[in-house]
Amino acid sequence: MAPPSLPHEKSTQPFWLTAPENLHDYRSTESLPNKVDIVIVGGGYCAAALITHVLEQSGQNPPSILVLEARQLASGATGRNGGHIKPDPYWHASHLVEQHGFEAAMELAQFETDNLNAVKAYVEKERIDCDLIVTRSCDVHFSHQRHDKAKAALSKFQAAGVRASQDAFEVGPKYAETVSGVKGAKGCITFPAAHLWPYKLVHHLFQRAVRLGVNLQSNTPVLKIADSPDSAGRWTLATARGKVSAAKVVVATNAYTAALLPEYKDQIIPYRATSCHITTSGTAPLLTNTYALRFTDWDHDYLIPRPDGSIIVGGARSVYYHDKDAWYNNSDDSTLVEEARKYFDDYMQRHFIGWEDSGAHVEKIWTGIMGYSRDRLPRVGPIPGRQGMFIMAGWTGHGMPQIFLSAKGMASMIVDGISFRETGIPRIFEETQDRLTDARNKVLETWEAAFQPKL
């Protein structure tokens, strides 16, 4: 198995990064400061949301903050994702009930909806130009059995009074195809969701923070974090451009965390993924929903319509998931998942009613690395055994409806020293020693259930 790796120097170019903005390769100062209050490692959505909330919560006397990004701003998963903010009001949460209890599952469903509302409110308040569209998402199922399972999960959450699930609406087999517009749909469930241009959001948040004094250093990988703090409780981080000492360190490196912190090896797993941008040469029906086409337990695609009528689709697991090395523990975003282009090229014609003569085709395709948490839950909060060090990572391909408010809670831990339990972040996100030593690998379990021969 390959050792944990830093981000590859070269990467495939996603649609979202075709028009880089002024902070793309930015360095606030020529050299690194020797000493700061807070270092954030990684310059993705986590870092952007965190600096926003730390500045907001620390009033007139903000701490000195340094952000060290290995490549360009938002060049990790954030700049390569599907742009889909999809709070899940029933599906993932229902799978957590058995292990974590109903309360914890409800908490997660509600948190994701609250996140969507918080992002919407913030984008509106700050008038951020990031193509935010608030709409509904449509989860489509292709067998009666799968749809019945989803419907039962939703009914249970609705009956229990989970606020987030009250606005979800189930459509049965009779109208599933016409309501969803998806061929072969046997049922669908719709609920509030949004899509946006993630790079533009993150760039805007960084622009504001840099104006307020945050020091951003792109193209500066952290090569090592000291194994323990010095006698003053400060951490030393080494880069090729010199060392920095910080009172607090936030590790926001998602898929790449194990390259800096050995305890995250096999805990946050680099998971290679692919998305694409589809345009049409003819006319096509207007899509206004976002989608998840859920084929099997492990195979689903997600889709958002862009305001210009083009489409972003991601997934294509059916063409490469069987080959574990192609995705598991694979942090190579410099090459394409070749089979995916063919899969996506006639995707709209295959799945969407009325798109047969649209001439829809892949305009751009790229690879990105997700950070899959071994137990499929994000890791947020103080890192056990590392006083003054925090983690925000392991979003398991679903960070967009979770990060903004997680960062708000994280900021209160850092600025005011409040405990994780007081932050409002779902309890199941809390990093603990138990999780770090938990042997159960749910990411591999799913793969093995699909592809390992049964003995």
Ligand X SMILES: Cc1cc2nc3c(=O)[nH]c(=O)nc-3n(C[C@H](O)[C@H](O)[C@H](O)COP(=O)(O)OP(=O)(O)OC[C@H]3O[C@@H](n4cnc5c(N)ncnc54)[C@H](O)[C@@H]3O)c2cc1C
**Footprint of ligand X on this chain (CB under 6 A)?**
6-7, 41-46, 68-71, 75-78, 80-84, 221-222, 252-256, 259-260, 273-275, 302, 314, 368-370, 393, 395, 397-401
Q: Which is nearer to ligand X, 17 or 162 (CB)?
A: 17
Q: Which is nearer to ligand X, 187 or 378 (CB)?
A: 378
Strand partners, 293: 140, 301
- Shortest separation between residue 399's beta carbon and ligand X, angstroms: 2
The DSSP H or E segment spanning 364 is strand 361-373
Q: Which is nearer to ligand X, 162 or 313 (CB)?
A: 313
- Shortest separation between residue 337's beta carbon and ligand X, angstroms: 10
Q: Which is nearer to ligand X, 256 or 347 (CB)?
A: 256
The dihedral through the CA atoms of 10, 14, 20, 26 has a sign that is: negative
DSSP state at residue 206 = H
- Shortest separation between residue 354's beta carbon and ligand X, angstroms: 24
Task: Give the distance, in angstroms, between the CA of residue 380 and the centroid of all CA atoms in the same chain.
Answer: 13
169-201 b/e (C-beta count within 10 Å ≥ 16 → b): ebbeeeebbebbbbbebbbbbbbbbbbbbbbbb
Tokens of 174: 């009779």
Round to the nearest angstrom and report the end-to-end CA distance of the chain: 24
Q: Which is nearer to ligand X, 105 or 225 (CB)?
A: 225
- Shortest separation between residue 138's beta carbon and ligand X, angstroms: 14
The string of DSSP codes covering 392-405 is EE--TT--TTTHHH
- Shortest separation between residue 331's beta carbon and ligand X, angstroms: 9
Neighbours of 454 (CB within 10 A): 5
- Shortest separation between residue 320's beta carbon and ligand X, angstroms: 13
- Shortest separation between residue 99's beta carbon and ligand X, angstroms: 22
Q: Which is nearer to ligand X, 81 or 267 (CB)?
A: 81
CA dist., res. 352 & res. 365, Å (int): 20
- Shortest separation between residue 174's beta carbon and ligand X, angstroms: 30
Q: Which residues, 6+ apart, have CB-to-CB distance to 127 below 8 Å?
A: none
Q: Which is nearer to ligand X, 186 or 272 (CB)?
A: 272
Q: Which is nearer to ligand X, 186 or 314 (CB)?
A: 314
Under 8 Å between Cβ of 410 and 94: no
Which of 443-451's residues contact partners 24+ apart within 8 Å by CB, and which partners? Answer: 443/269, 443/271, 443/328, 443/372, 443/373, 443/374, 443/376, 444/328, 446/297, 446/298, 447/298, 447/321, 447/324, 447/328, 449/297, 449/298, 450/296, 450/297, 450/298, 450/321, 450/322, 451/321, 451/322, 451/324
Under 8 Å between Cβ of 36 and 215: yes
- Shortest separation between residue 302's beta carbon and ligand X, angstroms: 5
Neighbours of 353 (CB within 10 A): 14
Q: Which is nearer to ligand X, 229 or 314 (CB)?
A: 314
- Shortest separation between residue 257's beta carbon and ligand X, angstroms: 7
Taking the CA atoms of the chain, what radius of gyration do you get in angstroms? Answer: 21
- Shortest separation between residue 196's beta carbon and ligand X, angstroms: 10
Q: Which is nearer to ligand X, 186 or 429 (CB)?
A: 429
The string of DSSP codes covering 57-90 is HTTTSPPPEEEE-SSSTT-SGGGGS--EE---SS
Q: Tell the residue number behind the tokens 């935010």, with chain if given.
A: 132
Q: Which is nearer to ligand X, 249 or 393 (CB)?
A: 393
